Amino acid sequence: MSTTYLSKTFSSLIRHRNYRLLFFSLSISQVGTSIQDIAQSWVILEKTHSAQAIALLTACLFTPYALLGLISAPLLEKLNPRKTMIICQSLSMLSAIALSLLCFTGKIGLFHLYLFALLRGFVVVINNPIRQLLIRQCVERSQVPNAIALNTSVFNLAKVLGPAIGGLLLAGMGAAYCFLFNAISFAFVIYSLFIMQEQELYPYASNKSKQSLLSRIGTALGYVFKSRQLLTPFAVLFLVSLLCINFSVILPIISGMLLQTNAKEFGYINALFGLGAFVGAIVSAYLSKVSFNFMMVSAAGMGIMFILLAMAGNIWLTGSLLIVTGYFYTTYTTVTSAYIQLRSEEEYQVNTIALYTYILTGINPVGAFLIGFLEKTGGAATALIIPGIVALLSSLCGYFANKS
């Protein structure tokens, strides 16, 4: 591997100390979060054997974003991203500690899992867009696509390590230790945020308008609808996110309903998906240009993989297909994020970032229940085939709309 390749791929890390602190601490924390996610899903699968019960967990986690995601966006301009993220990470740590204690005492039930998922969802409303803003503050504008791609690689490396470790912890020690590991992991982020050099952070442009919150949201949405180069990727993102980018439900359906795996295998299924996602993040970080066509190809590839997964039938073929699925998922979401940010006027970037995040996560409750409904009425294969067709057709429509 050449020095040029490494310096290009990891340029944000090489040049910016603050970004290095954020990157490496998030790497640890996201492993912990992935371990907790695996534990929550497995506990619910063991108790209910129901895709709809998993969908309810997803709904609890993402409903706060669905209700408040857009409204909160203009308020974030007034907050200090670093200090706000310290508060969010501290609250998340306390939540994980509570879940761990409930497990150790044997008192944990579905109510507790749903309640803490809901509380976590309210933290996510602030934490996710604030994290995006902090990443932008850690690097200069020309480094934003690289930083976004590397940040995505953090999450997807966690999806490799987290499920694998989580599966072993679940089988050998139980869910309580999964929650405890996550609680400890938040301390690394909190410490890194405290030792950042705030004077080295880059300022971001904010909208100085005196409009009301709802009026400003309307202005941001109007900006997207009037911009042809933004409207098409947002439209495709909405359709793909609704049914396909809901892996907290999709992967339990594959593992629990199609393959009927044990705890270790459930972890490995998630880890193989994460492996592909990590490779996709590294490839995205190396890309020097943000291509609309590459974005659509990735969405179409994800759709094709969904259809093939429904017909796989065994754990080895399924695992191989999930690696490719993870790759397309990451390249699609990473390139879409960078494309939207680079083609937004600077004063609208806060709201377009929030809108992107909202579509990617805020409509998850609706998508989760739709997938649960498809699984209940048509079976596990149907819950994969229909989302796959939606992704394939929407990407084709997006490609031809951009050409016209």
pLDDT digits (tens, 9 = 90+) for 232-278: 999 999 999 999 988 888 988 998 888 888 878 888 888 888 888 88
For residue 175, what are the contacts with CB-CB under 8 A and spacing of at least 6? 39, 40, 42, 43, 103, 108
- Burial category of 384 from C-beta neighbours within 10 Å (exposed 0-12, middle 13-18, buried 19 and up): buried
> Tens of pLDDT along 337-346?
888 888 887 7
Angle formed by the axes of helices 228-243 and 315-342, to 10°? 150
Sequence letter at residue 204: Y
In angstroms, the CA 87 to CA 190 distance is 9
Return the structure tokens found at 267: 């972890």
- Confidence bin at 50 (pLDDT 50/70/90): confident
pTM above 0.85, yes or no: no
User: 205: number of CA atoms within 13 Å, CB side?
Assistant: 12
The b/e string for 296-335 (b: 16+ C-beta within 10 A; e otherwise) is: bbbbbbbbbbbbbbbebeebeebbebbbbbbbbbbbbbbb
Which of 365, 229, 248, 288 is CA-nearest to residue 5?
288
> Tens of pLDDT along 279-325?
887 887 776 677 888 999 999 999 999 999 999 888 899 999 999 99
Q: Which residue has the tokens 């939606």?
A: 390
In angstroms, the CA 130 to CA 134 distance is 6
Q: Assess whether pLDDT exceeds 80 at residue 330.
A: yes
Question: What DSSP element (H or E) covers 170?
Answer: helix 144-172
- DSSP count for the chain of H helices, then E strands: 17, 0
In angstroms, the CA 81 to CA 84 distance is 5
Which of 61, 172, 47 is CA-nearest to residue 108?
47
For residue 404, what are the contacts with CB-CB under 8 A and spacing of at least 6? none
Quick one: pLDDT at residue 214? 53
In angstroms, the CA 14 to CA 296 distance is 31
> Tens of pLDDT along 150-201?
777 777 677 777 877 888 888 788 889 999 999 999 999 999 999 887 776 7
Q: Assess whether pLDDT exceeds 90 at residue 112.
A: yes
- Confidence bin at 212 (pLDDT 50/70/90): very low
To the nearest whole percent, how much of the chain has pLDDT over 90?
A: 31
In angstroms, the CA 232 to CA 222 distance is 14
- The CATH class for the domain spanning 15-198+213-403 reads mainly alpha
Return the structure tokens found at 203: 């300022």
> Tens of pLDDT along 3-42?
665 666 666 666 667 888 888 888 889 899 989 988 998 8
> Tens of pLDDT along 55-93?
899 889 888 878 886 666 667 777 888 899 999 999 999
